[in-house]
């Protein structure tokens, strides 16, 4: 890649806070303004604030069916349907039951008449299991099963394009799925809910440090935060933070800001 060539992927954090932390929006991040990783932040506001267009969102990857990751999906779908009915609705990918979940969410959020009309526009909604994958919006997307709460299936995702592999943990405990994902990505947007002791359904700081030690070639960006306490060797996500993700080994280019691959 030559100097000045654009980086292959740009990650924009829209929400970096744990469900009830109150230090930012809930979980959502954009990949190149085209993909959403979860939809817990008020994306119809956050995307424009980050210089991104909600209409450009083609695919939403839902990690699991908790409100802090999914409730703003009703706004995204209804907003698209209401203001630009000529445009396709975003594709929604999530764990088993996502089709039924999105329908319930729309009916709860906007009532039967509007929900039925949105669903009549036939949004593409797919239930995935760990190991499923596809080409979506120009990206290779793969799902990994992770352990969050015992009553719900939860997925982590890997998004790959032009030699950059970005992982997203969703919510998870320290489990085989997240350990494997950490070692097969260049960047991992990883939850770190507790900066102190263990949490029964989430990762804590010590577990994240263990993941980092197991995957020394992976850059960690910590999100789903309860507090912003520094973690050595990792970057803390913040709402609105935009990160160009260079290919590993990609040389520094001209005046462009340093990227995570360059040691930032």
Stretch that binds Zn ion, among 61-69, 141-149, 150-158, 207-215 (CB under 5 A): 61-69
Q: Considering only residues 220 through 239, tell me which ones interact with Zn ion, judged by CB under 5 A.
A: none
Stretch that binds Zn ion, among 18-26, 44-52, 178-186, 254-262 (CB under 5 A): 18-26
Q: Considering only residues 75 through 134, tell me which ones interact with Zn ion, judged by CB under 5 A.
A: none
User: Beta partners for 225?
Assistant: 17
Print the binding letters for residues 204-223 with Zn ion: x by CB under 5 A, - otherwise: --------------------
- Based on CB atoms, which residue is closest to Zn ion, 19 or 56? 19
Q: Count residues contacting Zn ion (CB under 5 A)?
A: 3
- Based on CB atoms, which residue is closest to Zn ion, 10 or 25? 25
CB of 71: closest distance to Zn ion in angstroms? 11
Stretch that binds Zn ion, among 3-11, 67-75, 110-118, 179-187 (CB under 5 A): 67-75
User: Beta partners for 245?
Assistant: 9
CB of 215: closest distance to Zn ion in angstroms? 22
Q: What's 173's DSSP letter?
A: -
Stretch that binds Zn ion, among 19-27, 79-87, 146-154, 161-169 (CB under 5 A): 19-27
Spatial separation of the C-alpha atoms in residues 71 and 26, rounded to whole Å: 10
User: Beta partners for 191?
Assistant: 223
- Based on CB atoms, which residue is closest to Zn ion, 134 or 175? 175
Spatial separation of the C-alpha atoms in residues 142 and 93, rounded to whole Å: 11
Q: What's 120's DSSP letter?
A: H
Stretch that binds Zn ion, among 13-21, 80-88, 215-223, 226-234 (CB under 5 A): 13-21
Spatial separation of the C-alpha atoms in residues 34 and 41, rounded to whole Å: 16
Compute the half-sphere exposure of residue 182: CA atoms within 13 Å on the CB side of its CA: 24
> How many C-beta neighbours within 10 Å does residue 105 have?
20
| 68 lines the binding site for Zn ion (CB under 5 A) | yes
Spatial separation of the C-alpha atoms in residues 75 and 46, rounded to whole Å: 12
- Based on CB atoms, which residue is closest to Zn ion, 102 or 246? 102
Contact 237, 156 (CB under 8 A): no
Contact 98, 66 (CB under 8 A): no
Spatial separation of the C-alpha atoms in residues 238 and 225, rounded to whole Å: 9
Q: Considering only residues 153 through 172, tell me which ones interact with Zn ion, judged by CB under 5 A.
A: 171
CB of 52: closest distance to Zn ion in angstroms? 22
Binding residues (CB under 5 A) for Zn ion: these are: 19, 68, 171
């Amino acid at each position: 890649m030559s100097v000045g060539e654009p980086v292959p992927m740009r990650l924009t954090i829209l929400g970096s806070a744990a469900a009830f932390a109150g230090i930012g929006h809930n979980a959502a991040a954009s990949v190149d303004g085209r993909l959403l990783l979860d939809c817990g932040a008020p994306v119809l506001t956050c995307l424009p604030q980050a210089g991104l267009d909600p209409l450009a969102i083609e695919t939403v990857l839902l990690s699991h069916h908790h409100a802090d990751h999914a409730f703003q999906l009703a706004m995204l779908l209804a907003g698209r349907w209401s203001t630009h009915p000529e445009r396709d609705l975003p594709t929604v990918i999530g764990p088993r039951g996502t089709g039924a979940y999105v329908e319930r969410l729309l009916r709860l959020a906007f009532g039967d008449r509007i929900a039925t009309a949105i669903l009549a526009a036939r949004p593409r909604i797919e239930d995935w299991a760990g190991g499923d994958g596809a080409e979506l919006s120009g990206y290779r997307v793969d799902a990994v099963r992770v352990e969050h709460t015992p009553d719900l299936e939860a997925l982590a995702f890997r998004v790959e394009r032009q030699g950059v592999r970005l992982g997203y943990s969703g919510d998870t405990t320290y489990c085989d799925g997240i350990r494997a994902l950490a070692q097969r990505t260049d960047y991992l947007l990883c939850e770190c809910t507790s900066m102190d002791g263990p949490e029964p359904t989430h990762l804590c700081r010590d577990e994240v440090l263990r993941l980092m030690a197991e995957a020394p070639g992976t850059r960690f960006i910590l999100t789903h935060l309860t507090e912003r306490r520094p973690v050595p060797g990792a970057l803390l996500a913040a709402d609105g933070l935009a990160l160009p993700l260079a290919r590993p080994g990609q040389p520094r280019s001209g005046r462009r800001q340093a990227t995570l691959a360059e040691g930032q």
